[in-house]
Amino acid sequence: MQLAIKWIRHHPNLSAWFVLALGMVILLVLEARDVGLEASQWFWLIVVTILVAGACIWIVSWGDNDEIDGDEEAGDESVGNEDVGNEDVGNESVGNEMVQGETRA
């Protein structure tokens, strides 16, 4: 048991992939058991479900290695603080002429 816990702590993404894939496959089999799929269809559906679970864990793990350093923090603060044009959205012209939030055709 200690070996399994050590492996799970050492490989969190693989263990999360296994757990998510197992849950997704169980739900798939329970929900699609009366659909009438052939054996090859079941096989590929299960394979694709496992791959989707892996993709989900991979995407979720993108933020795992983000550590805030002084350099990264300064770079993050500058994002979104750019002057985009100081436009008043309510007074923009989009198709029809707009003056003070009123449209004129």
86: tokens are 């100081």
Closest by CA to 20, choosing from 58, 62, 61, 54, is 54
Q: Span 10-39, mean pLDDT?
A: 95
Q: How many of the other CB atoms lie within 10 Å of CB of 61?
A: 13
Question: Can you tell me which residue has the tokens 């959205």?
Answer: 89
Q: For the segment 78-100, what is each residue's pLDDT rounded down to a tens digit?
A: 555 555 555 555 555 555 555 55
Contact status, residue 50 vs residue 21, Cβ threshold 8 Å: yes
Model-level pTM greater than 0.85? Answer: no
